[in-house]
Amino acid sequence: MTMYENEKNKDTDAAAGLHPRRMSDSASGDVSYEDLLYDVGQNKDKDSFIALFNYFAPRIKSFLLKGGASETKADELAQETMLNVWNKAKGYDPTKAAASTWIFTIARNKRIDALRKKKYYSVDLDNLPELEDETDTSPIQNAIDNEETHAIAHAIHNLPAEQADLIKRSYFEEKTHQEIADETGLPLGTVKSRIRIALKRLRQDPTISELWT
Amino acid sequence: MTEHINHTQEITDKDLSADDLYHNLLMDYAAGRLAEAQNMIIAAHICMSGNARQKLRQYESLGGYMLENECAPVSMCASALDNTLSLLDQVRHEAEHKSQNNIFPGNITVPTPITECLETNRVNAKWRMLFPGLETFKVKLNCPRHNVRFIKAAPKVKTPHHTHGGVEITLVLDGAYEDEYGQYKRGDLVISDENQRHTPQSCARRGCVCLIVSDTPVRFTGLWRILNYFIKI
pLDDT digits (tens, 9 = 90+) for B130-167: 889 999 999 988 777 888 999 999 999 988 776 666 78
- What pLDDT does A180 receive? 83
- Cβ burial, residue B171 (10 Å; 0-12/13-18/19+): buried
Domain that holds residue B206: 112-229
Which residues from A are below 8 Å from B188, CB to CB?
Answer: none
Whether residue B93 lies inside any domain: the answer is no
- Establish if B151 belongs to a structural domain: yes
Q: What is the pLDDT of residue B79?
A: 96
From A184's Cα to the closest Cα of chain B, the distance in A is: 17
Q: Which residue has the higher pLDDT, B49 or A14?
A: B49
B52/B141 same-domain check: no
Quote the minimal CA–CA distance from B34 to chain A in Å: 6
- pLDDT by position in tens, chain A (length 213): 333 333 333 343 333 333 344 454 434 457 899 999 999 999 999 999 999 999 999 999 999 999 999 999 999 999 999 999 999 999 999 888 899 999 999 999 999 888 766 778 888 887 787 777 655 455 454 444 567 888 898 899 999 998 999 899 999 987 888 888 888 888 888 888 999 999 999 999 988 888 887
Could you tell me if B57 and B134 lie in one domain? no
Shared domain check, B186 and B125: yes
In CATH, A12-125 is 3.40.50.20: no
- Which of A179, A200, A207 should we substitute to test contact with B (largest number of B Cβ atoms within 10 Å)? A200
Model confidence at B123, pLDDT cuts 50, 70, 90, reads confident
Cβ-defined contact of B5 to A83 (cutoff 8 Å)? no
- Which of B34, B51, B67 to mutate: most A Cβ within 10 Å? B67
Same domain, B116 and B223: yes
Could you tell me where in chain A the CATH 1.10.1740.10 domains are found? 12-125
Q: What is the mean pLDDT of residues B43-50?
A: 94
Residue B38 covered by a domain: yes
Give the pLDDT of residue B160: 74
B contacts of A171 (beta carbons < 8 Å): 31, 62-63, 66
| Pairwise CB contact (< 8 Å): A58 & B60 | no
**Chain B residues touching residue A118 (CB < 8 angstroms):** 36, 142
Based on the fold, state whether residues B165 and B64 are members of the same structural domain.
no
Structural domain contains residue B84: no
Same domain, B167 and B218: yes
Q: Between chain A and chain B, how many beta carbons pairs sit less than 8 Å apart?
A: 216
Compute CA B7 distance to the chain's CA centroid, rounded to the nearest angstrom.
29
Is the Cβ pair B83, A204 closer than 8 Å?
no
Last residue of some domain: B6, B37, B69? B69
Same domain assignment for residues B152 and B204: yes
A117-151 burial by CB neighbour count: b if 16+ within 10 A, else e?
A: eebbbbbebeebeebeeeebeeebebbbebebbbb
Higher pLDDT, B99 or B177: B177
Residue B149 to residues A45, B167, B177, Cα–Cα distance (Å): 48, 14, 17
Residue A144: what pLDDT? 47
Between chains, do B85 and A46 touch, taking CB under 8 Å as contact?
yes
Q: What was the pLDDT predicted at A18?
A: 34
Pair A95, A143: CB distance under 8 Å:
yes
Same domain, B225 and B119: yes
Q: Out of A103, A125, A206, whose CB is closest to B56? A: A125
| CA dist list (Å): A100 to A28, A47, A96, A159, B157 | 22, 18, 12, 22, 48
Let me know: does A84 contact A117? Beta carbons within 8 Å: no
Distance CA B60, CA A59 (A): 16
CB contact under 8 A, A53 and B84: yes
Q: Which of A79, A122, A209 sits opposite B80 (nearest CB)?
A: A79
Q: Where does a domain end: B7, B34, B69?
A: B69
Q: What letter represents residue B120's amino acid? A: T
pLDDT value of position B135: 92
Lowest mean pLDDT among A25-29, B14-18, B78-82, B181-185: A25-29
pLDDT surpassing 70 at residue B77: yes
What is the domain-level CATH number for residue B170?
Answer: 2.60.120.10
Confidence of residue B179 (pLDDT cuts 50, 70, 90): confident
List where CATH 1.10.10.10 sits in chain A. 145-213
Asked if the model's pLDDT at residue B221 lies above 80, the reply is no
Whether B128 and B181 share a structural domain: yes
Contact list, B30 vs chain A (CB under 8 Å): 108
Q: Which residues of chain A make contact with B145, given a CB cutoff of 8 A?
A: 178
CA-closest candidate to residue A98, choices A46, A44, A35: A35
Mean pLDDT of chain B: 84
ipTM: 0.84
Q: How many Å lie between the alpha carbon of B185 and the closest alpha carbon of chain A?
A: 13
Q: Are residues B151 and B223 in the same domain?
A: yes
pLDDT at residue A156 in the model: 92
For chain B, the domain total comes to: 2
pLDDT at A145: 53
Architecture, CATH, for domain A145-213: Orthogonal Bundle (1.10)
Question: Could you say which of B5, B13, B73 has the minimum Cβ distance to residue A13?
Answer: B73
Task: Examine the domain organization and report whether B43 and B129 are in the same domain.
Answer: no
